[in-house]
Amino acid sequence: TIAKVQGKFSAQFAHGGLFLDATQGGRTSIDVISVLGQVTKTLQANISAGHNWIPMTDMSAGKYIIRVRQGSFSQVLRVEIK
């Protein structure tokens, strides 16, 4: 399943990972939230401006919300892993 968000990030979840195209680099926080509202995983990454790949292959089947934050900017993706 592919989901996209727009803004400072162009994010796409596919092939077991998160592709991030960022307009600026910096410390980025990624939260994976279950449909029950529980944060099941939190990642911290320093990404660069441009294309970035963050593997997330250890996620179980289900529906999730992935929140990507950098500074005061935040975007949300909805994904389903089958």
- Distance, CA of 71 to chain centre: 15
pTM of the model: 0.80
Per-residue pLDDT of the chain (82 residues; tens, 9 = 90+): 445 444 466 788 888 899 988 888 889 999 999 999 999 999 999 999 899 999 988 889 999 999 998 877 788 999 998 8
Q: How far apart are CA 24 and CA 32, in angstroms?
A: 22
Tokens 């990030």 correspond to 9
Query: Does residue 27 contact residue 52 with C-beta atoms inside 8 Å?
Result: no
